[in-house]
Structure 1
């Protein structure tokens, strides 16, 4: 009695090539994902650094000397409310040292209330940079500041 049963041992060449093709597509996907995640992580760190610079500038503007009752430091260290729009108070050297560009804009409140516009300024802070691909990125903060302190 003879049997025609083929016994297969191992893998054929076609099966190995298909398996290598599927494996290489998966590995290439992981490499691309790693590069994408590295770019996103770098952008997140740059955004945090830019936010810290913008917050430091905003806090610097809030140390103004116009009838501030609770001021601890001397009057020479404080910014007068009338001089807030002076470009000398924009701390650009701190931003440039870290590879950022800092824009500061202080303007009186626009509108029909002229009495309010003399006592209230809007402050726009923008920190920008170019990411590794050359795409411009930016973080901006905006607030209004009164010449009157809440402690007066």
Structure 2
């Protein structure tokens, strides 16, 4: 009796392995992409926190040093500068005051090197008035 069952040919098996390989490569690239984006999200949150901390310090101008547990800013002392915390660099740019010298524009940039060696950054921009909500 002759059997009508046939197996797969070598070409069919090679094509199926090729398709599986392409699928696995696509999943690997997706995993790498997701890891990079996750890493960026974590680092950008820390950079944003550091930039916001600096901004909050600028907002202490006019507060009483006697009533505060931290040193406070004065409008005159708010000037361009930078600080380094771990792998993050926080820089702030304060050009000359506008509106009769009573309004300063502040740009705070927090930057870091990602795992690929590229510099990434987040930026905050605000304006600070000489007149504080703490003044009577």
Please indicate the TM-score interval, normalised by the length of the shorter structure: 0.7 to 0.9
| Cα distance in 1, alignment partners of residues 11 and 39 from structure 2 | 43
Partner of 2:12: 15
Partner of 2:96: 108
| Bigger proportion of residues as strand | 2
Which residue in the other structure is 2:30 paired with?
A: 33
The answer for unaligned runs of 5 or more in structure 2 is none
| Structure (1/2) with the larger helix percentage | 1
Q: Figure out how many residues of one structure are paired with residues of the other and give that number.
A: 134
- Partners of 2:52 and 2:77 in 1: how far apart? 20
Q: Report Cα offsets for 1:100-141 as digits up to 9, x if no partner.
A: 11111223334xxxxx24111111111111222222211111
Aligned to 1:134: 117
Q: Considering only CA atoms, is the larger Rg found in Structure 1 or Structure 2?
A: 1
Quote how far apart the aligned CAs of 1:149 are. 2.1
Q: 1:51 to 1:83 in 2, by over 3 A?
A: same
* 5+ long unaligned stretches in structure 1: 111-115
Equivalent pair of 2:60/2:72 in contact (CA under 8 Å): yes
TM-score by length of 1: 0.76
For residues 50 and 132 of structure 1, the distance between their equivalents in structure 2, rounded to whole angstroms, comes to 15
TM-score (norm 2): 0.84
Alignment partner of 1:64 is 2:61: yes
Q: RMSD in angstroms over aligned alpha carbons?
A: 2.5
